[in-house]
Structures are given as C-alpha cells and as structure tokens.
C-alpha cells in the first residue's frame, strides 16, 4: 500500500507568498516557470499544492488582494489625531507610491479582463469592498453618503495613472478634489452662531 504525503500548510503558504511577491513585481505569468523560479520548488510541487495553474493564479490573486485590503484598510481607518480628509490624502499618497503601485497594476488589469475567468465578479467586489471603510471614515465628518463619490474619484484617477503614467497630475487632481470636499463639508455644517 502506498501512503500519500500529507500537505504541509506552512510550506504551501511559503510557496504562495513567493508567488504573490513575484506576481506583484512582474505580473501574473502565463506559464508556471516564473513561479517555479520564484518559489524554489518544482512545477510538480506547485501542482501538488494547488491543483492546477489557474487554481494557483486564483490563490495568488486572492492572497495579494488580502494584503492590499489589510494595508489600505489600515490607511482608511479614521484616527482621532487627524481630520479624515488628511487621512484620505495620506492613503492616496501611499496607494500611488512606488511600494503599492504593483497592486494597482495587478488589479487594474484584472478589472479590465472582460471574461474575468480567474475571479468572476471581481469588478463588483473591488468596488463594494471599499465602500464600508470609506463610509465609516466619512461619517466622522458627517458625510458618509459621499463614499461612492470618493471611491469613484479614486478609481478614475487610478485608471488615469495606469493609462498615462502621469502621477503628479493625478496627485494634484486628488488634492483639488479633497479641497472641494472640505468646502462642502464645511458648508454643510449647521451654523450655530444664531443660537
């Protein structure tokens, strides 16, 4: 009787993290060879741990998305020591900075994939999963209903950066947007001077 090997989750996690690091730096590969090199294991071991190339690609995308959500989720969390529009400005700078740009590239391409074979409904999830954190933050300035608008501006400017590479222009546009948002939140506060 042949006894099969038991999968070891820590090895699988290490392999997956190496594949995510590679995909963020170079994009999702068409073949397994780049992941073989990045992880230091054979293609047979990749298939053993993940089943198929597409299953490995899906898990790579999901792990990368988990990392992105954790990082951006922390950045979007309101802080007691700063106004929320300052938090949004800091989040934008981190999101479009060189360290986090690979996430934008990876998921930007996935959003543009008409068939979405690797991640069905990704475009919907990539939109709706940011609405609640934005609503929570904007609630601190009394404007949670602006979450959709803020998200649309962020996504539009990210698309602009991906198309043109002109990050300084997009940064100025985001600053202008936050300045306009500051005016609307100030104007919407009730005037207590007559009380």
In tens, the pLDDT along 28-81 reads 888 889 999 999 999 999 999 999 888 898 899 889 888 888 888 888 999 999
81 CB-side CA count, 13 A? 0
* Residue 55, in any domain of the structure: yes
Q: Distance (Å, rounded) from C-alpha 128 to C-alpha 123?
A: 9
* Residue 154, in any domain of the structure: yes
* Residue 194, in any domain of the structure: no
According to the 3-state scheme, what is the secondary structure of the chain?
CCCCCCCCHHHHHHHHHHHHHHHHHHCCCCCCHHHHHHHCCCHHHHHHHHCCHHHHHHHHHHHHHHHHHHHHHHHHCCCCCCCHHHHHHHHHHHHHCCCCHHHHHHHHHHHHCCCCCCCCCHHHHHHHCCHHHHHHHHHCCCCHHHHHHHHHHHHHHHHHHHHHCCHHHHHHHHHHHHHHHHHHHHHHCCCCCCC
Give the chain's residues under pLDDT 50.
1-4, 114-115, 190-195
* Residue 25, in any domain of the structure: yes
Give me the domain span that covers residue 96.
9-187
* Residue 45, in any domain of the structure: yes
* Residue 123, in any domain of the structure: yes
Which pTM does this prediction carry? 0.75
Q: Quote the pLDDT of residue 111.
A: 58
* Residue 36, in any domain of the structure: yes
Residue 83: give its domain's CATH number: 1.10.357.10
* Residue 193, in any domain of the structure: no
User: At CA 163, angle to CA 157 and CA 169, rounded to 5?
Assistant: 50
Q: Quote the pLDDT of residue 140.
A: 94
Q: Quote the pLDDT of residue 157.
A: 93
Q: Quote the pLDDT of residue 3.
A: 44
Q: How many domains does the chain have?
A: 1
């Amino acid at each position: 009787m042949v006894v099969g090997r038991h999968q070891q989750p820590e090895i699988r996690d290490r392999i997956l993290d190496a594949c995510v690091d590679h995909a963020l730096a170079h994009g999702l590969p068409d073949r397994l060879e780049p992941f073989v090199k990045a992880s230091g294991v054979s293609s047979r071991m990749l298939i053993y741990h993940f089943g198929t190339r597409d299953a490995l690609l899906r898990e790579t995308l999901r792990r990368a998305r988990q990392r992105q959500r954790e990082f951006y989720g922390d950045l979007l969390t309101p802080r007691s020591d700063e106004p929320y529009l300052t938090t949004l400005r800091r989040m934008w700078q981190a999101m479009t900075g060189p360290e986090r740009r690979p996430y934008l590239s990876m998921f930007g391409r996935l959003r543009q994939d008409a068939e979405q074979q690797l991640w069905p409904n990704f475009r919907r999830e990539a939109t709706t999963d940011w609405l609640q954190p934005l609503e929570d933050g904007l609630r601190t300035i009394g404007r949670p209903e602006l979450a959709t608008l803020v998200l649309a501006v962020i996504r539009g400017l990210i698309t602009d950066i991906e198309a043109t590479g002109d990050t300084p222009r997009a940064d100025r546009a985001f600053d202008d947007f936050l300045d306009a948002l500051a005016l609307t939140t100030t104007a919407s506060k009730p005037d207590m001077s007559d009380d």
